[in-house]
């Protein structure tokens, strides 16, 4: 694989499983040293860190709750201290609580907003202290930011659509520094949270133009592209990779 990110330093939230783990591995294979956060499984995090080391790059796994602004900021600062800065931030951590709006618990609303929206702002603000010209901020958003075709997803969709506005504004703020800011908006992806043979799969496949779940490596590939110099003119964008779910 081309070393398009040779010498770059990346920080990924929620990097021990699913899409996040695939992104950590892909960035390392393209030449980046990678720090990432995880919530609750040191063994799983260490396995991902080992894939980074096997690619010949430095790894740092940090246990951190993205809902805690102080903890998340400290994790970013720890990574920057170890690597000497941060060039790439991937805001991947997220949750998907589902319930009809008249039954949705306020504490679940607050936690969804804290992780899916506020943590993106917190991590970005923290990383920018350590990011030079040409940096990259990449958010893992969702196709549901633009289409929510089933009941129970109002709060999740709200949290993801909020990132569309945030990214547009941040792109204007950071453009003079040569820092790009973009969303990746996946549709159904085969992960343990939403397996391709799960109870919702048949419904979701019926909504897609190409009826198959994406592989996590497809999302990782788009993230890697956005992190390279080839994407230096891509900013303020929300890029779909959803099999036509939103078409």
Catalogue the active-site residues: 156
Residue length, the chain?
247
Q: What is the DSSP string of 201-245?
A: HHHHHTT-SS-SPBPHHHHHHHHHHHHSGGGTT--SEEEEESTTT
The sheet carrying 237-241 orders its strands as 59-63, 33-38, 9-12, 88-91, 136-140, 180-186, 237-241
Q: How far apart are the first and last CA of the chain?
A: 32
Cα–Cα distances in angstroms (integers) from residue 42 to residues 46, 50, 72, 105, in the given order: 6, 12, 17, 30
């Amino acid at each position: 694989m081309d070393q398009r990110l040779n010498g770059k330093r990346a920080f990924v939230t929620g990097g021990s499983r699913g899409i996040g783990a695939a992104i950590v591995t892909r960035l390392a294979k393209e030449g980046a040293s990678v720090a990432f956060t995880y919530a609750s499984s040191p063994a799983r995090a260490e396995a991902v860190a080992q894939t980074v080391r096997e690619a010949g790059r430095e790894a740092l796994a940090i246990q951190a709750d993205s809902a805690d602004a102080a903890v998340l900021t400290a994790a970013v600062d720890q990574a920057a201290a170890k690597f000497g800065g941060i060039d790439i931030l991937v805001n991947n951590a997220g949750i998907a609580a589902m319930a009809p709006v008249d039954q949705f618990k306020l504490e679940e609303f607050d936690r969804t907003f804290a992780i899916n929206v506020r943590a993106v702002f917190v991590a970005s603000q923290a990383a920018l202290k350590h990011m030079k010209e040409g940096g990259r901020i990449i958010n893992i958003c969702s196709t549901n930011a633009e289409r929510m075709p089933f009941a129970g997803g109002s709060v999740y969709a709200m949290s993801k659509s909020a990132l569309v506005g945030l990214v547009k504004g941040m792109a204007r703020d950071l453009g003079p520094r040569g820092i790009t800011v973009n969303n990746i908006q996946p549709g159904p992806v085969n992960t343990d949270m939403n397996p391709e043979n799960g109870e919702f799969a048949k419904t979701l496949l019926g909504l897609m133009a190409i009826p198959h779940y994406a592989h996590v490596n497809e999302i990782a590939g788009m993230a890697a592209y956005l992190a390279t110099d080839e994407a230096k003119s891509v900013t303020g964008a929300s890029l779909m990779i959803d099999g036509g779910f939103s078409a």
